[in-house]
């Protein structure tokens, strides 16, 4: 199916269904997806072999220069972003200079668009690295993926590359001490002959227990909205998402639903 890549380092602003008017920063290449996951629902398509080969990422200086120019342009046009969002063609925290880039972004935001939040959409695979963890604590919207409380489901849905340890990821999410937003994609379908469904009672009950341990600022739940790399996935209905959201609220957490 028709998935897509962002062709710029700075993209948008776009109206994000979850975040508002969002100016995007893509720290990955503009011609290939680079990610430590290979989610079967990824809008960028499957993670290609190039991930294991050498790819060129934009430098910290390049990102700073382009972000400053775009923010200046937006200020001149009086079109300020609600949020500056690290997203794009893969996992932003894989960038070796991620922590420095966050510092530059905070500095430019404070100077040019002080009301804008900074968001990072991450899959949580790099939060065991201290510079990444510390950088994420400096921003307002530290949005981390947790698609299931079960490692076997994460492996089916998110197809981690290399070593993946859900227990370690959860320990790190807890270590944010509540300064984290959890994002969860709900989806069902089949892939390579295996049935996948992270909306079953067993899944939801275990996921809610984990939320209680992580104690996030907010929970974002959503389902597929655009084309995915495979055609055997189903959207979860808005009614079902709202029912899951009700249980999250009952557990004491703010929740945002995007159907
Ligand atoms: S973590 Fe995000 S970018 Fe990476 S494969 Fe999953 S959906 Fe795509």
Q: From the alpha carbon of 123, which atom of ligand 1 is closest?
A: 1
| Overall residue count recorded for the chain in this entry | 259
Distance CA 183, CA 204 (A): 14
Q: Which of 32, 33, 37, 230 to mutate to test the pocket of ligand 1 (most atoms within 8 A of CB)?
A: 37
- Does the pTM surpass 0.85? The reply is yes
pLDDT value for 48: 75
Residue nearest to atom 3 of ligand 1 (CA): 90
Q: What is the pLDDT of residues 209-235, one digit of tens each?
A: 999 999 999 999 999 987 788 888 999
Q: From the alpha carbon of 38, which atom of ligand 1 is closest?
A: 5
pLDDT value for 77: 94
Q: What's the gap in Å between 39 CA and the centre of ligand 1?
A: 5
Give me the domains of the chain, ranges plus CATH numbers: 10-258 (3.20.20.70)
**What mean pLDDT value characterizes the chain?**
93
Q: What is the pLDDT of residues 92-111, one digit of tens each?
A: 999 999 999 999 999 999 99
- 20: which strand partners? 16
Q: From the alpha carbon of 47, which atom of ligand 1 is closest?
A: 5
């Amino acid at each position: 199916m028709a998935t897509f890549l962002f062709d710029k380092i700075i993209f948008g602003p776009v109206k994000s269904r979850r975040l508002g008017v969002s100016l995007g920063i893509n720290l990955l290449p503009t011609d290939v997806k680079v990610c430590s996951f290979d989610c079967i629902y990824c809008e960028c398509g499957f993670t290609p072999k190039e991930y294991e080969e050498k790819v060129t990422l934009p430098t910290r200086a390049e990102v700073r220069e382009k972000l400053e120019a775009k923010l200046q342009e937006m200020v001149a046009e009086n079109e300020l972003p609600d949020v500056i969002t690290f997203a794009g063609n893969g996992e932003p925290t894989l960038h070796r200079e991620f922590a420095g880039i966050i510092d530059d972004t905070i500095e430019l935001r404070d100077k040019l668009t002080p009301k804008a939040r900074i968001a990072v959409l991450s899959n949580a695979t790099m939060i065991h690295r201290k510079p990444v963890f510390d950088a994420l604590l400096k921003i307002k919207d530290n949005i981390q993926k947790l698609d299931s409380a079960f490692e076997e489901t994460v492996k089916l849905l998110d197809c981690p590359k290399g070593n993946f340890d859900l227990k370690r990821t959860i320990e790190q999410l807890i270590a944010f001490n509540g300064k984290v937003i959890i994002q969860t994609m709900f989806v069902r379908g089949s892939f390579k002959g295996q049935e996948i469904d992270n909306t079953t009672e067993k899944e939801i009950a275990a996921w809610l227990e984990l939320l209680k341990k992580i104690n996030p600022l907010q929970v974002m739940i959503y389902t597929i909205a655009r084309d995915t790399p495979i055609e055997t996935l189903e959207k979860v209905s808005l009614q079902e998402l709202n029912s899951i959201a009700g249980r999250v609220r009952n557990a004491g957490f703010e929740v945002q639903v995007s159907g």
